[in-house]
Structure 1
Amino acid sequence: MTALIIAEHDNATIKPATLNTVAAAAKFGGDIHVLVAGSGCTAAGAAAAQIAGVAKVLVADSAALGDQLAENVAAQVLAVAGNYDQILFPATANGKNVAPRVAAKLDVAQISDILSVESADTFTRPIYAGNVIATVKSSDAKKVITVRTTAFDAVAATGGSAAVENLTAVAAGGSSTFVGREVVKSDRPELTAAKIIVSGGRALGSAEKFTEVITPLADKLGAAMGASRAAVDAGYAPNDWQVGQTGKIVAPQLYVAAGISGAIQHLAGMKDSKVIVAINKDPEAPIFQVADYGLVADLFEAVPELVKELG
């Protein structure tokens, strides 16, 4: 039994989500191989070879794979899929983009967002915004799986010594073309990998207030910044800050929610955080039901006071 993991990377380094996915694959008990598909990705391949528990790294280096177009990456996965029993993707934007295409081409049902591996063919996954955990069993010969990375502790990024095999990369499919990418550059930690997150909600009232109130606290804590969907929809924060069922799933060591009521969709994205601190002037706000520490107060007074106390 051998599992193939499709690495999340930037052509130079391996992203943390890959380490969590390796941890999920280890539950199967067989060999673990990692596919690094990209352009100029030799360094990423070398980094993947150092991941603890990985037996082999497959490197497919081609300009056609540089922009991670789903059609081209899926074709590369399908070129080697015959050798594997399980094919795992991190449940990230890239993973969710490629995995369904691979599953469809293999004519199998995708198993999405798994929380645990109960056996070789049985898994748990959340439904109804995480309020129900379903146990699913697949009879497909090959399993195409996306992994909720917050449910598995990351393996060590170093300590391994996997063999590296260079593949013949597939040709560009031609059915899609990369046009452009707008990347928001920030010195802050990546939201899904941050150990501390400070999030703001609609109660902040404007983008200016969001920056004025939330940014100083995030700066003091060295935190990533997040937002509820309501705040994003209102234009107070960029889309890539959205935490929740339709945003990013996070599980930091500390999650501070300021002015967030705690709608079920938001809770689905952050309730696995180790420590949750909620600041809201409504004592009946649902966020207090999951918070480890709750402060019933006006955030416009409480957050600046907290920043001041932090020195």
Structure 2
Amino acid sequence: MAALVIAEHDNATLKAATLNTVTAALACGGEVHVLVAGENAAAVAQAAAQVQGVSKVLHADSPALATQLAENVAAQVLAVAPAYSHILFPSTANGRNAAPRVAAKLDVAQLSDITKVDSPDTFERPIYAGNAIATVQSGDAVKVITVRTTGFDAAPATGGSAAVETLAPVADSGKSAFVGRELTKSDRPELTAAKIIVSGGRALGSAEKFTEVLTPLADKLGAALGASRAAVDAGYAPNDWQVGQTGKIVAPTLYIACGISGAIQHLAGMKDSKVIVAINKDPEAPIFSVADYGLEADVFEAVPALTAALG
């Protein structure tokens, strides 16, 4: 029995989500192999070979795999699928795009967003916006799984010495084509990989106040900036800052929630953070129920004071 992890990468670097997925694969038992499907991604394959716990890296290199089109990635996974009992994707945009195609072609049920492996055929996953945990058992010969990366520690990125095996790449399916990509560029850490996040809610009142109040604190802490859905919907922050069930799922070392009431949708995206600090003038705000430290105060006074105290 062996498990196959589909690497998340940009053809140059191995993304952190892959390391968490390797940990989940190791919990399934047996060997763990990693598939790196891309173009000119030899450096990624070598990085994957260094991950502790990985015994083999499969490297498929082709222009058809350069932009991670789901049809082509799924076809590459299916080419090697018969050798594996578990196929695991990080629960990222790419993973959620390709995994259902693989499951459908194999005629098996997909196990989505798992947060724990109880046994090789039994897994836990959150339901109802994280308010309940479902235990799911699968009798399928091949388990196709997406992994909520915040539920698993990252495997050490160094110390391994896996062999790298070159695969014959699949042909372009011709079913889709990559047209273009607009990327938001920032000097700040990427939200899902950040160790510290400063997040703001609708209480900040405007995009200008959002920037004026939160940016100095984030700069002092070297933090990423996040936002509640209400703040994003109001236009105070861009969509890619949204934390929550319909935004990004994060689990930083420190999460500072400023003026966020703590709706269920938002809590589902950040309650796995190691330390949660909540600043809100409403003593009944739900955010205080998950906070390790709560400060009942006006964000317009408390956040600048905190920033100044950091020196």
TM-score above 0.5, yes or no: yes
Per-residue deviation, 1:29: 1.9
- The aligned residue for residue 257 of structure 1 is 257
Give the fraction of aligned pairs with identical amino acids, expressed as a percent.
Answer: 79
Q: Secondary structure at the match of 1:166?
A: strand
Per-residue deviation, 1:298: 1.1
Superposed CA offset, 1:15-69 (max 9, x none): 1110010001111220100000111101001100000010100111111111111
- The aligned residue for residue 52 of structure 1 is 52
- The aligned residue for residue 199 of structure 2 is 199
The answer as to 2:131 corresponding to 1:169 is no
2: CA distance, partners of 1:161 / 1:153: 20
The answer as to 2:286 corresponding to 1:286 is yes
- The aligned residue for residue 306 of structure 2 is 306
- The aligned residue for residue 272 of structure 1 is 272
Per-residue deviation, 1:108: 0.5
- The aligned residue for residue 34 of structure 2 is 34
1: CA distance, partners of 2:140 / 2:208: 52
The answer as to 2:4 corresponding to 1:4 is yes
2: CA distance, partners of 1:171 / 1:102: 16
- The aligned residue for residue 223 of structure 1 is 223
Q: Secondary structure at the match of 1:144?
A: strand
2: CA distance, partners of 1:234 / 1:173: 41
- The aligned residue for residue 13 of structure 1 is 13
**Gaps spanning 5+ residues in structure 1: where?**
none
- The aligned residue for residue 179 of structure 1 is 179
Q: CA RMSD in A?
A: 0.8
- The aligned residue for residue 145 of structure 1 is 145
**Gaps spanning 5+ residues in structure 2: where?**
none
- The aligned residue for residue 212 of structure 1 is 212
Per-residue deviation, 1:237: 1.2
Per-residue deviation, 1:186: 1.3
Aligned residues: 311
2: CA distance, partners of 1:213 / 1:39: 43
Q: Which runs of 4+ in 1 moved over 3 A?
A: none
2: CA distance, partners of 1:51 / 1:247: 29
- The aligned residue for residue 76 of structure 1 is 76
2: CA distance, partners of 1:246 / 1:197: 18
1: CA distance, partners of 2:195 / 2:226: 12
Per-residue deviation, 1:198: 0.4
Amino acid at match of 2:218: A
Amino acid at match of 2:283: P
Query: Which stretch shows the higher mean deviation, 231-240 or 159-168?
Result: 231-240
Q: Secondary structure at the match of 1:291?
A: coil
1: CA distance, partners of 2:156 / 2:120: 23
Superposed CA offset, 1:242-300 (max 9, x none): 11111111111100000110000100111111110001111111001111111111111
TM-score (norm 1): 0.99
Per-residue deviation, 1:174: 1.0
- The aligned residue for residue 236 of structure 1 is 236
Per-residue deviation, 1:101: 0.9
TM-score (norm 2): 0.99
Per-residue deviation, 1:85: 0.6
TM alignment of 1:79-90, pairs within 5 A = 79-90=79-90
Per-residue deviation, 1:82: 1.0
Per-residue deviation, 1:207: 1.4
2: CA distance, partners of 1:176 / 1:231: 35
